[in-house]
Amino acid sequence: MGDIIKFNKPKPVKPQRQPSPALKKAAVIGAIIVGFVAAWAYFQFVGA
| Per-residue pLDDT at 41 | 94
| pLDDT greater than 90 at residue 39 | yes
pTM exceeding the 0.85 threshold for the entire prediction: no
| Per-residue pLDDT at 48 | 63
Q: Which tens digit of pLDDT belongs to each residue from 6-18?
A: 888 888 888 888 8
Supply φ then ψ for residue 14, to 5 degrees: -80, 130
Between 3-7, 28-32, 41-45, the lowest mean confidence (pLDDT) is in 3-7
Mean predicted lDDT score pLDDT of the chain: 89
d(CA 47, CA 43): 4
